Amino acid sequence: EDKVVQSPLSLVVHEGDTVTLNCSYEVTNFRSLLWYKQEKKAPTFLFMLTSSGIEKKSGRLSSILDKKELFSILNITATQTGDSAVYLCASKTSYDKVIFGPGTSLSVIP
């Protein structure tokens, strides 16, 4: 059974802190790993990772994939209150099924 697991499930940090969110997966015929940010409504796309060891960056956010150990991390540096959201990790599997993890709820307090 395809499975995506995230940790921690919730996290509270102060502005300026750096956070690391974890995602591990066990899926059939892995094709890619996706990160999304969800605030009030629909998830918004952050990154897609397909190759091990290649870091993707966008501003203060970065992510990397380890296909040998079957996990990915999402780093957020110098957190701001606007980073408060649920961060979702997903894996695209064989037949283009996309499975999501439970999400990490991040709260950034001033």
Partner 1 sequence: NAGVTQTPKFRVLKTGQSMTLLCAQDMNHEYMYWYRQDPGMGLRLIHYSVGEGTTAKGEVPDGYNVSRLKKQNFLLGLESAAPSQTSVYFCASSLLAGVTGELFFGEGSRLTVL
Residues that bind partner 1 (CB under 8 A): 2, 6, 9, 31-32, 34, 36, 41-43, 45, 48, 50, 88, 90, 92, 95-103
Q: Residue count of the chain, please give it.
A: 110
CB crowding 44-71: b at 16 or more within 10 Å, else e: eebbebeeeeeebeeeebebbbeeeebb
Residue pair 49/65 in contact by the 8 Å Cβ criterion:
yes
Min separation Cβ 103 and partner 1, Å: 5
d(CA 5, CA 7): 7
- Whether the ω angle into residue 8 lies within 30 degrees of 0, i.e. cis, is yes
d(CA 9, CA 51): 25
Min separation Cβ 43 and partner 1, Å: 6
Min separation Cβ 96 and partner 1, Å: 6
Min separation Cβ 34 and partner 1, Å: 7
